[in-house]
Structure 1
Amino acid sequence: MVLGYLEILRARHAARLLAGTLVGRLPNATAAIAILLFVRAEGGSYSLAGALAAVYGVANAVGQPVLGRLVDLRGQPRVQLPAAVLSGLAMALFAFAGIGSLPLAYAAVAAAGLFTPPLEGGLRALWPSVLRKESQVHTAYAMDAVAQEVMFTVGPLLVTLCVSLWSAQAALLVLNAVGVLGALSVVVSPPSRAWRSAPREAHWLGALRSAGLLALLAALLFVGMALGSITVASVPYADEHGGDVVYGWLMAALGFGALVGGTVYGARQWAGEPARRLTVLVALLVVCYLPLLLMPGAAAMVALTVLAGVFLAPTIACAFVLVDRHAPRGTVTEAFSWLVTTFTVGHSVGTGVAGPVVEAGGALWGFAVPGVAGGLSLLVLIATARVLAAPGQGAVVAAGSENDPNRALEPRFSSGDRA
């Protein structure tokens, strides 16, 4: 397991790109938590906090595919760094202005979300040029998902640490400043500066003309919704069992569970159909959400939250393979950005829905939302199984495209559905 990951990290520029992307995405990964804690520190309600987090997420969802398409057309440095700076400045405006003027608060978080750079999609577009081998690219996808869970584990703790040592305002400022530095590290690297997207077929739908990609995005929307609802439902639970420290541990536990699951999943090559495997992973994800309804004491709840996260990273890593299979030629960054967008929209919808649900029925009702959302994701995957299993018929992938590091002529990886 360790040797497989070390082989990836020893590749030239790989460790730098992974670390820079993770640091650059830190503001986006912690935005919902930071906004929730900041609004509460300012005296705002759960509904207002959820609404602001949802606005950030929706704006982020709009911006990611647009910026991703610009990256495919113009290259990474010209888009990523200016976007990171603008996003950081907008969040700084929100931190200083607070919620005294709601129109300004909504505008600031919307701008911060809109200009969030598509670093995640950009990294996945770079892996084939950095690693070359298909098996290494698949392992990198899993390692990427695992590394993100490290960030999701550490991120909540960093937010709560900043809040404890300084303030919720300082947490917003520090995390966004660090995020700009991470983006800078990525865009000045040789692979980022040299990368160019393959020629693309002119089409106003871009990556969305792929039926397989649309089916996958529909399923991941509900997975994101489940995760977002846990973020909100955990706040009132933590208030009754120890406060911000417990909340930070719950969020870290969710990320830690995904880290463990993703690490094990990425340690081997999986034979068989990725679409079928994704259905199984989502079903297991739903099963692990249900024990959260028990709401035991803080220590036991942290353990249940770890369990709830175990199949998250494997689900995302498997989805990466399917995105790569179904992305039309010349749209790889945009396609991965659509996945980020859809997950973010789902997360935002989850926070927006869970806020009123929690106020109406407490944390118990809030923890029921993830199970419902996960069940809907499973239904989507079952209904679209044939489309997802098809070898990307709607995609236009040719030899030598950035989607296929082995230069396979078929619109799929050449090893026969090994992820």
Structure 2
Amino acid sequence: MSSSTPSYAAVLRAPHARRTFGAALLGRLSYGIVPLSLTLASAGATGSYATAGTAVAGFALTVSALSPVRARLIDRYGPRRALPPMAFAYALVLGALALLTARHGVPAAPLVVLALAAGAFPPPLGPVMRTLWSDLVPDRRLLQRAYSLDTVAEELLFVTGPLLAGLIAALVGPAAGVAVSAGLVLAGTFALVSSPVARSQTGTAGAADPVENGPTPRRSRGGSFGGLGRPVVLSAGIGTCLGALGLLLVAFAAHRHEAPAAAWAEAALSAGSAVGGLVYGSRSWRVPGRVRLPVLTAALAMSLAVAGAAPDLYALAAVVGVAGLFVAPALTTAYLLAEESAAPGARTRAGAWVNTAFNAGSSFGMAAAGRLIGRLPLAWCFVAAAALPLILALVALTRRARGEEPVRRAGCEDPTRRARPEEE
């Protein structure tokens, strides 16, 4: 390991980097505000938390299920042509939801239908931004820094977003939070596509499509075969672990009659993730990314497995904070491996598959934890939540130890090795 990697300031000094990154963050803030705003607005409009939960779950389902489709459109037609129609459609449906939920006595059916429709259109600003980083910072030593910065910033957006949603709900009303989300995504998307680096991405329309129908094995830009499977599978495992953790923290706190204190453990996880991501991105690693990712996943899982044995909430927050140190580094590495594995015209889809796998795993983990709580001692629920990502990580490490890594072209090192920084 070496500390010779250029600074985060060097990432932001790249031509058009601050403008492009700022625009993407503005639009992505919408995704931090809308879940809580939509939940509160739906519950207030219908008088039913069950309906609100159904609407938000339907929204999340279509967001995740159609994410690869939206990313495919970006790869095919380029951000400048594909993003604005998505942003318009998404903002239009959110606007309709805001108008609908601004009053009381709203029927459940139109609310759920609109929520499902809204989830079909969110422009994939995160995957697009990670694709653009590859062009903004072609020096591969800087790309890890850029991805770490992006992951940490996204983490902070999903911490500040609900706070803003709560503030808007208190000052104006929850429906206003839905409307603000629509405005943010429009402003951020159009600022992003006006960036010179986004305008240079023209897509692959008219050319052969480099990806089939998902994260199936294929030959990547670096000559490796099947490189996308590992980051996708391990991202699903990480999502499973963290999805279950959110519910387990609430159960742990409620068992001690301090349910609101679960927020402190959540904050510790986010703080640990931010610190871990910034430190991780500041280093150049000699160990290949295909080894780092399962190691980081295993470290996260083992940390959370012991969290349930904490004697009180203070100890729990400390252990969860330590576990958080591995979250952003693991996701950063997953995105780096996905970017490296993708053909030139499929980079947005590669990142979107990592996102989709993480979100699907998170939903599964939360559902599984809900069924386990009350049937197993709570400490064992934490162990069960960590089991899947730990098994996946150990399988990945075992396969590498047996020499089942992708074959590389003669003379080509692993693209994440420091020995070939231009390929990192």
Name the TM tier (shorter chain): 0.7 to 0.9
Q: Is the 8 A contact 1:391 1:412 kept in 2?
A: no
**What is the one-letter code of the residue matched to 1:106?**
V
User: Do the aligned residues in 2 keep the contact of 1:206 with 1:331 (CA within 8 Å)?
Assistant: no
1:183 corresponds to 2:186:
no
How big is the alpha-carbon RMSD for the aligned residues of Structure 1 and Structure 2? 3.6
Q: Deviations over 1:197-216 (max 9, x none)?
A: 46655554365343321232
1:224 aligns with 2:244: no
Q: Does residue 371 in structure 1 map to residue 386 in structure 2?
A: yes
- Letter of the 2:361 counterpart: G
Is 1:339 aligned to residue 345 of structure 2?
no
**More divergent stretch after superposition (32-41 vs 71-80):** 32-41
The answer as to whether partners of 1:212 and 1:387 remain within 8 angstroms in 2 is: no
CA contact (8 A) 1:292 1:301 kept: yes
CA separation in 2, counterparts of 1:412 and 1:286?
26
1:205 and 2:213 matched: yes
Shift of the alpha carbon at 1:147? 1.7
Identity within the alignment, % = 28
C-alpha change, 1:317 and 1:118, in structure 2 (3 Å) is same
Structure 1 window deviating more from structure 2 (307-316 vs 382-391): it is 382-391
Q: Report the Cα distance in structure 1 between the residues aligned to 2:65 and 2:121, rounded to whole angstroms.
A: 9
Q: What is the rounded CA distance, in whole Å, between the counterparts of 1:131 and 1:163 in structure 2?
A: 39
TM-score, normalised to structure 1, is 0.81
Letter in 2 for 1:315: A
1:129 deviates by: 1.9
The answer to whether the 8 Å contact 1:326/1:411 transfers is no
Change (3 A) 1:123 1:265: same
Assess, with a 3 A threshold, how the Cα gap between structure 1 residues 411 and 49 changes in structure 2: closer, same or farther: farther
Q: If you compute each CA radius of gyration, which structure gives the higher value, 1 or 2?
A: 2
Q: Distance in 2 between matches of 1:302 and 1:92?
A: 38
Deviations 1:317-338 (A, max 9, x none): 1112211222134211111111
Hey, what does 2:269 align to over in structure 1? 254
Deviations 1:114-161 (A, max 9, x none): 211111111122122222212112221122112222223323333343
- Pick from 287, 300, 315 the counterpart of residue 272 of structure 1: 287
Change (3 A) 1:89 1:231: farther
Note if contact 1:215-1:388 (Cα within 8 Å) is conserved in structure 2. Answer: no
The equivalent residue for 1:350 is 365
Q: 1:111 aligns with which of 110, 117, 129?
A: 117
Per the TM alignment, residue 275 of structure 1 is displaced from its structure 2 partner at its CA by: 1.1
Inter-CA distance 135–61: structure 2 relative to 1 (3 Å threshold): same
Q: Shift of residue 93 of structure 1?
A: 4.0
The TM-score with structure 2 as length reference comes to 0.80
Larger displacement relative to structure 2 (226-235 or 146-155): 226-235
1:67 aligns with one of 67, 70, 84 = 70
Q: Residue type matched to 2:271 in 1? A: F
Q: Kindly tell me: are residues 196 and 271 of structure 1, through their superposed partners in 2, closer, same or farther at Cα, counting changes over 3 Å?
A: farther
Task: Report the number of matched residues.
Answer: 402
Paired amino acid for 1:390 = P
Q: Is the 8 A contact 1:217 1:339 kept in 2?
A: yes
* Structure holding more helix per residue: 1
2:179 maps to amino acid: L
1:241 aligns with 2:258: yes
Letter in 2 for 1:10: R
2: CA distance between counterparts of 1:161 and 1:297? 30
